[in-house]
């Protein structure tokens, strides 16, 4: 989803090579090594967006919307959606799952795509939704929620919530989205858009869950993914490598069983459904 330090003449060729930069009746058996999902329990309580603790919604049918990142499309969610549909509790049938497609406009400013997401939710008559997002898609979803979209919970996977060093030139980058996501890792500054978004955010462990890959996936550092007040998680990478030109590690989070299981349980129960994990301190100078 992210952008790269390169000469303008090579941008188009490089964009074609990047991962989330490009698109890429009986209970089913649980895959080897996969933690079974929680089944609905009437005694579970959560603090919903309104802030009042209440009973978990067994059989909740609230739509789940998947939001992809830069230079991607809804196809990147095929593995994650398959895991949701095969959930042992059967809480996420295909009719409940939706994917927002803004693949033609991902280079636009993030607020513009956030408005498109909000308009799409209204046009589809989805009502209040939950969002699972990857990379820049998390910023699109968070901005849409801030501007009034009916979004209850947001999961951001490898999202540069505090920017990425793979973006540069805050005012002249040819991709407007990158102007919104830049981060100077040397002096710790970030775009005005991100500063404003994070200042205005109303985040609780029951409304936002973030997921990072190790200390950095080569494109986004964990201290950029994690948000104050959110339920912050980190999963270790299965392979080494990853950089601004190689999104393989950055994209790998979309296929991880543990991430899918935690995501489903967070949508069911909020923070009480997901094992806690201490967030890394936001002090890394990585991307």
**Sign of the C-alpha dihedral computed for residues 218, 238, 264 and 54 taken in this order:** negative
Q: Which long-range contacts (CB under 8 A, 24 or more apart) does 250-253 make?
A: 250/1, 250/2, 250/19, 250/20, 250/135, 250/158, 250/213, 250/217, 250/218, 250/219, 250/220, 251/19, 251/20, 251/24, 251/76, 252/213, 252/217, 253/134, 253/157, 253/158, 253/211, 253/213, 253/217
Note the pTM of the prediction, 2 decimals: 0.79
Higher pLDDT, 36 or 156: 156
The pLDDT value recorded for residue 192 is: 92
Sign of CA dihedral 171, 175, 180, 184: negative
Quote the longest CA-to-CA distance of the chain.
Answer: 59
Question: Which of 128, 119, 141, 73 lies closest to 96 in space, CA to CA?
Answer: 128
Instruction: Extract the tokens encoding 137.
Output: 């898609």
Backbone angles phi, psi at 67, to 5 degrees: -125, 115
Task: Name the 3-class secondary structure at 233.
Answer: strand
User: Has residue 16 got a pLDDT over 60?
Assistant: no
Average confidence (pLDDT) over 97-121 = 98
Contact 36, 88 (CB under 8 A): yes
Q: What pLDDT sits at residue 220?
A: 95
The percentage of residues in the chain with a pLDDT greater than 90, rounded to a whole number, is 65
- pLDDT beyond 70 at 74: yes
Q: What are 45's strand-pairing partners?
A: 55
With a cut of 90, say whether residue 63 has pLDDT above it: yes
């Amino acid at each position: 989803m992210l952008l790269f330090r390169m000469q303008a003449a090579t941008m188009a060729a490089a964009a074609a090579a990047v991962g989330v930069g490009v698109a890429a009746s009986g209970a089913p058996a649980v895959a080897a090594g996969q933690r079974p999902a929680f089944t609905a329990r009437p005694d579970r309580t959560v603090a919903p967006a309104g802030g009042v603790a209440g009973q978990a919604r067994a059989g909740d049918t609230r739509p789940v919307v998947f939001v992809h990142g830069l230079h991607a499309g809804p196809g990147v969610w095929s593995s994650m959606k398959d895991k949701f549909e095969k959930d042992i509790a059967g809480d996420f049938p295909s009719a409940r799952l939706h994917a927002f497609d803004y693949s033609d406009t991902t280079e636009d400013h993030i607020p513009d795509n956030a408005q498109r997401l909000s308009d799409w939710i209204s046009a589809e008559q989805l009502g209040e939704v939950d969002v699972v997002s990857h990379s820049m898609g998390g910023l699109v979803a968070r901005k849409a929620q801030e501007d009034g979209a009916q979004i209850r919970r947001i999961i951001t996977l490898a999202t540069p919530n505090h920017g990425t060093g793979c973006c540069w030139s805050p005012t002249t980058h040819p991709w407007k989205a990158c102007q919104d996501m830049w981060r100077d890792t040397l002096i710790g500054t970030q775009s005005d858009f991100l500063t404003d978004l994070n200042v205005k955010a109303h985040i609780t462990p029951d409304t936002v869950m973030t997921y990072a890959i190790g200390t950095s996936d080569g494109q986004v550092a964990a201290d950029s993914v994690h948000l104050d007040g959110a339920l912050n998680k980190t999963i270790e990478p299965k392979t080494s490598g990853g950089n601004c030109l190689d999104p393989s590690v950055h994209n790998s989070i979309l296929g991880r069983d543990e991430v899918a299981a935690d995501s489903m349980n967070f949508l069911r129960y909020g923070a009480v459904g997901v094992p806690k994990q201490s967030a890394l301190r936001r002090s890394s100078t990585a991307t």
